[in-house]
Amino acid sequence: MGHRAAPEHTHPDDVPVLTALAALADPVRLQLVRELAGAGDWERSCGTFDVPVGKAALSHHFAVLRVAGLIEQRDQGPRRVNRLRRAEFDQRFPGLLDLVLRDEH
């Protein structure tokens, strides 16, 4: 198996509000963020999310969330694990995640 490039991350301070909103507007990405919000840091690997998309689409969704400053990813052996950047994102966009995570409709 070849070596994967480490994921690139955008810090929330460098994210325009429309980029953040666009990332959170997609139902699959919103589900990923909701599941991460309910998990501890680095607990969830990419393959453990209950979303109706294939691997390539899932990789794309994770990339969009990284660019929007919402998540960090790192490799632990063969698994890529995830962390919601809650504190940093809340500092940049106060209340936005609370609103999005609360609203089910």
Q: Which two tokens stand for residue 23?
A: 């990332």
The CATH classification number of 12-100 equals 1.10.10.10
**The pLDDT of residue 105:** 54
Domain range list for the chain: 12-100
Predicted confidence (pLDDT) per residue in 43-87, tens digit? 999 999 999 999 999 999 999 999 999 999 999 999 999 999 999
Half-sphere exposure of 87 (CA within 13 A, CB side): 2
For the chain, give the mean pLDDT.
92
Confidence check: pLDDT of 100 > 70: yes
